[in-house]
Amino acid sequence: MPGPTIPRMTAPHPHTVSQPDEPGPAAGPDRAAPAAARVPVPRAGAELSADEARRLALHAQGLMGRPDRRAGVPGVLRRLGAVQLDTISVLARSHELVPFARLGPVPRQDVEAAYWSGRSAFEYWSHAACVLPMEDWPLFAFRRRAFLARGHRWHRMKDAARSLAEVRARLAGEGPLTSAELGGAKNGGPWWDWSETKIAVEWLLDTGEVVCTRRRGWKRVYDLTERAVPAELRDREPPDEGCRRQLVSRAGAALGVATLGDLADYHRMTQAEVAAVIEGTGLVPVTVHGWQAPAWADPAALATPPRGRHRTTLLSPFDSLIWDRRRTERIFGMTHRLEAYTPREKRVYGYFAMPLLSGGRLLGRVDPAREGKVLVARHASFEGTPRQAARAVPAMAEALHWAAGWVGWAGDIRVERVTPGELREPLTTAIARGFDPR
């Protein structure tokens, strides 16, 4: 049966009360790319413990140390290099949850403005459909050329020349348009039964004639690249190898320490493609105890060991800290799968279970929902031994409070199911108690 609704208490900022994984002052402003030219290159072959690698990863992802609020959401995007988009919205959409996890309760309208105003970002195929910094437009030339070389996407046009010409003319004459405004996205069948116009505009996006620089009501707004992308970026066309080398370098900075497979997954390349350019990225080879595969690290991260407080927050399943499931298991020991597309009766953790990050570790999950102005924790589950799970209860309560406050509509919190069951009462009590500002 549903549990009692617990009034949401006011509390200090969640990102200032988490227990540090190690003592020391908070880290200063972060950088967004490998800094081999700015710091001495550490000796290749350095050995890292599993905990050192974990802290490097957390700091690189902006989840350890002082949040860089001056750089704000644009800074988060530049640091990560890619923020994944997804249609699912429970607390908020994933691209909103990512900066919240790193910066705290940033107004949601500010998040959208940071992505989609001032030609500062664009949407394209990276790890998946992602928001990308506009300055990285030239680096995806290799992917645009690959689409052109293939000659088609998985949809095929019946009259390509006419359809492409019509889309180009409409965008040139009328300005940015959605697929609905261009004539409709579907033919009336299943979701993949795209209209000729939709196939045409997506092909132009794939190959670089058209760009998506914002979304309206979750619909892509298409514009001509010549109008939306600054000329100094549009005119740069690095060779394929140069594109991959720079993207792997950026991925290495965003990951801190990574295997070839980790680096390949970040922007969805092959390991062979990464191996071909790794020597020129500035990343240095390291050994991580417990990792079976060789690893590479950002030399700037190695030169300044990460110190400072950790975030306590709920993570989107599409957050770049955990979007690579094999890497998540290797670093955090958590096996996490998105169950949104799993039949209800086969779900273990819930539709949109969000991992709980606190103290630099993944301590559990919450499957959230909304009922009126109540944030419902349909299933709160804890990892580890009974003692470890019990110690994670305050962090779970903290994360739920701040998620409820940030999304704006949730005044109260209700906990339904808890695993293990004996932690249900401690969790509801912790939520009702609020937090000690010290």
- How is residue 157 written in tokens? 């046009």
152-229 CATH pick, 2.70.98.60, 2.30.29.30, 1.10.10.10, 2.30.250.10: 1.10.10.10
Distance CA 296, CA 194 (A): 42
Q: What is the pLDDT along the chain (438 residues), one digit of tens a residue?
A: 455 555 444 333 333 333 334 333 233 323 333 433 333 344 557 899 999 999 999 999 999 998 899 999 999 999 999 999 999 999 899 999 999 999 999 998 999 999 988 789 999 999 999 999 999 999 999 999 999 999 877 677 677 889 899 999 999 999 999 988 998 655 544 445 578 889 999 999 999 999 998 998 889 999 999 999 999 999 999 999 999 999 999 999 999 999 999 999 999 999 999 999 999 999 999 999 999 999 999 999 999 888 889 999 999 999 999 999 999 999 999 999 899 989 999 999 999 999 999 999 999 999 999 888 889 999 999 999 999 999 999 999 999 999 998 887 666 899 999 999 999 999 999 999 875 433
Distance CA 129, CA 401 (A): 30
**pLDDT at residue 378, as a whole number:** 96
> Across the strands, what pairs with 64?
310
CB 66 within 8 A of CB 290: no
Which residue type sits at 310?
A: H
Distance CA 214, CA 21 (A): 38
CB 204 within 8 A of CB 164: yes
HEC readout, 217-286: CCEEEEEEHHHHCCHHHHCCCCCHHHHHHHHHHHHHHHHCEEEHHHHHHHCCCCHHHHHHHHHHCCCEEE
**pLDDT at residue 2, as a whole number:** 53
CB 220 within 8 A of CB 124: no
CA atoms within 13 A on the CB side of 291: 28
- How is residue 88 written in tokens? 């699912």
Put simply, whether the predicted model's pTM sits higher than 0.85 gets the answer: yes
Residue with tokens 């240095």: 284
Separation of first and last alpha carbons in the chain: 36
**pLDDT at residue 410, as a whole number:** 61
| C-alpha torsion 214→87→111→412, nearest 10 | 150
**pLDDT at residue 76, as a whole number:** 97
Distance CA 314, CA 100 (A): 9
Angle (nearest 5°) at CA 117 between 226 and 106: 150
> Across the strands, what pairs with 374?
371, 412
Residue with tokens 């009766």: 345
**pLDDT at residue 4, as a whole number:** 54
